[in-house]
Amino acid sequence: MFRASALAASWTLLIFAFMYFPVAVILIFSLNDSEIIAFPLQGLTLRWYESVVSDGRLGGGFATTLMVAFPAAILSTFLGALAALALTRYEMKMKLKLVFAILLLLPFLIPKLILAVAQLILLSELGVARNLVTVTLGQVIVILPFTTLVVASVLVRIDRRLEEAAVDLGASAWSVFRRVTLPLMRNGLVAAMFIAFVLSSSEVVLTTFLSGRAQPLSLLVASDFRFAISPALNALAVLIVTGNIALVLVGEAIRRRSERGTG
Amino acid sequence: MPDRPPLPLLRADALHKAYGSYHAVRGVDFRLMPESYVTLLGPSGCGKTTMLRMIGGFETVSSGRLELDGQSLLDIPAPRRPINTVFQSYALFPHLTVEENVGFGLAYRGRAGLGGDGRGLDRAAMRQKVATALSTVRMEQMAARRPRHLSGGQQQRVALARAIVNEPRILLLDEPLSALDRRMRRDMQIELKDLQRRLGMTFLHVTHDQEEAFALSDHIIVMNAGLIEQQGAPQEIYRRPDSAWVADFIGGSNVVPGRVLALDAGRARIGTAIGEVTAPARRGLAVDEAAALCIRPEQLSREAAAAPGAATVEAAVTHAVFAGSGWQVELRAAGGQPLSARLGEAPAPGETLRLAFDPARAWVTRGAAAGPRA
């Protein structure tokens, strides 16, 4: 028994090492006091972080990212909430519901490159210029399945009897939603918005094809990693990863709090 | 019942509910009298909750009639029925305080609906009503708390206050005590009954617990497989079960299967594994029909103590359990027929006893395999 679990533990560690070692390497080099990204390490420094924070070009990219990520997060959460309400609250035939769910989640399965190229072709056929609006709308399509699932996961946990109790006490459908369903799903909406924000800010493929001249941070990082690699890039990567993890953790904490509240 | 008021509050005729090919309620008739405490009693899946949900407006009625004060409820949506529900596990709004929970329905009072006067309530009147409802259930101290900070019994009280504050014509209670522990349950039974009397409201309570039904009800409706098996006063159902199924379900009785040998003026002679007995019988039995003899445990005694004219049965003791005021004794009679008796003294295990009972206090009813429902 003990042996088996020791074996299992080493195996698990090995897998985690495989998953996270590359990221760890980036973390290490972001603190390495050398222009050259190679071993042996030369000592500890924070200068790469300083250069990231003081870089105007990166700052502009970050601003562009926010200009896309905020509306994308809000729009995809709003639409995801509507879809989740339809999935969990509408009385539909099972088959119809299944078709609805599959159509909603299909963007998961279509390679983003294909989605991106398809949208690009459509936009140029329609003569629509690519800008922050087109990239935002394009991102919403791929983020929508996530926000739908996050909000739906909160909705299915809300005891249906709470809504029935509101009806029983005389509330109309709209009052039930406003006074019971919405307050109880609010944390799910916040969690979905955090996740949508992270997904939007780290989206590269769609952004590349749809953003036009604007250069959000993700594109700057992608192109710098190919053409202008420097330890500062490692520092930037660490900042982005940390920020994303923090956002998702906060979102998840909020969602869990809502579970305890309703359970 | 001669003193029955002429008009029922609620009236169900041939009420039927089907889900596709599954018939949850298969045509039932009943009346709810004003100011009565009625329980719908039956095992899970018997259709009792479906009945409650049809009355509350949460399920549509497949066919039949449902009338409140002579007015059909079928076209009235749930929010506009002057009926409120205490849900199983209470369904208190977790994001609202006790006070806000209780006041929830008052915002919709007075809307055009059954019993609505077209005017709403002002804030002060609402507050007053909430305070009164909370003090009725002795929860005024908890007004500012959230439901999750209350015990099960306290949540139960808030759920009651939230329903009664709207002064419904009928209060529906869906297994309201099932989430409480045994002791709490008994206390709440007394409180529920007391509350119903004080408010003079009609309570319709769904339960699968026979003791609960007997403790609370003026009238019990026993349901099985979507149909009413029997309805009447608790004593009537206890003493004169309409079928072996009812006798068995309400429990506490020895149900001995047999066959009707003869009928005479409200009495039947029944042949069973423990002998032939002539006892009062349910109406509508036929000679040679399958029937059952019901003998309650406390009616069985040791032969020495028996009155003249008593019937006797010989049985071997299998178990004896001390039950405070006496011994609950399980025995096995001829043909392997199990019997329960309540005896004053402990028998020896394996001992064969001669037990006696007064046939005039026994009851012959329809057998398990008889009747149109089998």
Percentage above 90 pLDDT, chain B: 68
pLDDT digits (tens, 9 = 90+) for A3-14: 668 888 899 999
- Residue B351's SS3 state is coil
**What pLDDT shows up at residue A109?**
84
Find, among A75, A92, A252, the residue nearest to A148 by Cα: A75
**What pLDDT shows up at residue A212?**
76
Query: Which residues make Cβ contacts (< 8 Å) with residue B231, sequence separation at least 6?
Result: B30, B219, B220, B221, B222, B237
Mean pLDDT (whole number) for A71-79: 97
- How far apart are alpha carbons A261 and B2 in whole angstroms? 53
- How far apart are alpha carbons B344 and B256 in whole angstroms? 23
- Judged by CB atoms closer than 8 Å, whether chains meet at A166 and B85 is answered as no
Residues of A in contact with B87 (CB under 8 A): 161, 164-165, 168
Q: How far is B106 from chain A (nearest CA, A)?
A: 8
Say yes or no to pLDDT of B44 above 70: yes
In chain A, the number of structural domains is 1
Q: Residue A259: which pLDDT band, with cuts at 50, 70 and 90?
A: low
Residue ranges making up the domain that contains A175:
58-262
Q: Residue B142: which pLDDT band, with cuts at 50, 70 and 90?
A: very high
Find, among B59, B58, B89, the residue nearest to B152 by Cα: B89
Residue A135 lies in a domain: yes
pLDDT digits (tens, 9 = 90+) for A36-68: 777 787 888 888 898 888 888 888 888 888 999
pLDDT digits (tens, 9 = 90+) for B182-222: 888 888 999 999 999 999 999 999 999 999 999 999 999 99
| DSSP string for residues in A114-170 | HHHHHHHHHHHHHTPPPSHHHHHHHHHHHHHHHHHHHHHHHHTTS-HHHHHHHHHTT
- Judged by CB atoms closer than 8 Å, whether chains meet at B80 and A170 is answered as yes
The interface predicted TM-score of the complex, written ipTM, equals 0.84
Residue A221 lies in a domain: yes
Residue A5 lies in a domain: no
Q: Residue B120: which pLDDT band, with cuts at 50, 70 and 90?
A: low
Find, among B189, B230, B178, B196, the residue nearest to B213 by Cα: B189
Phi, psi of A172 (to 5 degrees): -75, 170
Residue A15 lies in a domain: no
**What pLDDT shows up at residue B371?**
39
Phi, psi of B186 (to 5 degrees): -65, -40
Residue A8 lies in a domain: no
Q: Residue A262: which pLDDT band, with cuts at 50, 70 and 90?
A: very low
**What pLDDT shows up at residue B181?**
87
- For residue A109, give Cα distances in angstroms to A104, A113, A151, B147: 11, 11, 20, 43
Find, among B24, B71, B28, the residue nearest to B50 by Cα: B24
Q: List, in sequence order, the alpha helices (H) in B217-251.
A: 234-239, 244-250
Mean pLDDT (whole number) for B232-252: 92
Q: How far is A183 from chain B (nearest CA, A)?
A: 7
pTM (2 d.p.): 0.82
Say yes or no to pLDDT of B323 above 50: yes
- How far apart are alpha carbons B300 and B47 in whole angstroms? 35
Name the strands in the sheet holding B301-302, side by side, starting at the edge strand that comes first in the sequence. Answer: B301-302, B352-357, B311-322, B327-333, B338-343
Where is average pLDDT lowest: A18-22, A179-183, B307-311?
B307-311
- How far apart are alpha carbons B153 and B150 in whole angstroms? 8
Residue A134 lies in a domain: yes
- How far apart are alpha carbons B103 and B143 in whole angstroms? 11
Query: Which residues make Cβ contacts (< 8 Å) with residue A37, sequence separation at least 6?
Result: A29, A229, A230, A231, A234
- How far apart are alpha carbons B277 and B262 in whole angstroms? 10
Percentage above 70 pLDDT, chain B: 93
Residue A48 lies in a domain: no
Query: Which residues make Cβ contacts (< 8 Å) with residue A242, sequence separation at least 6?
Result: none
Residues of B in contact with A179 (CB under 8 A): 104
Q: Which two tokens stand for residue A217?
A: 């941070």
Phi, psi of B76 (to 5 degrees): -100, 120
**What pLDDT shows up at residue A37?**
78
Say yes or no to pLDDT of B20 above 60: yes
pLDDT digits (tens, 9 = 90+) for A109-131: 888 899 899 988 998 899 888 88
**What pLDDT shows up at residue B257?**
92
Mean pLDDT (whole number) for A222-242: 84
Say yes or no to pLDDT of B55 above 70: yes
Q: Residue B2: which pLDDT band, with cuts at 50, 70 and 90?
A: low
For tokens 């003294």, what's the residue?
B345
Average pLDDT, chain B: 89
The vertex-B336 CA angle with B333 and B338, nearest 5°, equals 65
Tell me which residue in B79, B92, B93 faces A170 most closely, judged by beta carbons: B79
**What pLDDT shows up at residue A2?**
57
Residue A129 lies in a domain: yes
Q: List, in sequence order, the alpha helices (H) in B123-230.
A: 123-136, 152-164, 182-199, 210-216
Crossing angle of helices A231-262 and A132-155, rounded to 10°: 40
Say yes or no to pLDDT of B111 above 70: no
Say yes or no to pLDDT of B35 above 90: yes
- For residue B124, give Cα distances in angstroms to A5, B105, B140: 66, 15, 17
Mean pLDDT (whole number) for A203-207: 85
Phi, psi of B149 (to 5 degrees): -95, 15
**What pLDDT shows up at residue A45?**
85
Say yes or no to pLDDT of B63 above 90: yes
Contact (Cβ atoms closer than 8 angstroms) between residue B82 and residue B55: no
H or E element: which one contains B366? Answer: strand B363-366
Identify the CATH number of the domain in which residue A112 sits: 1.10.3720.10
Where is average pLDDT lowest: A190-194, A202-206, B62-66, B170-174?
A202-206
Residues of A in contact with B105 (CB under 8 A): 168-171
Q: How far is B232 from chain A (nearest CA, A)?
A: 29
10 Å CB burial of residue B205 (0-12, 13-18, 19+) is buried
Say yes or no to pLDDT of A149 above 90: yes
Tell me which residue in B93, B105, B163 faces A162 most closely, judged by beta carbons: B93
Find, among B4, B28, B2, the residue nearest to B17 by Cα: B28
Query: Which residues make Cβ contacts (< 8 Å) with residue A13, sequence separation at least 6?
Result: none
Q: Residue B4: which pLDDT band, with cuts at 50, 70 and 90?
A: low
Q: How far is B116 from chain A (nearest CA, A)?
A: 11
Percentage above 90 pLDDT, chain A: 38
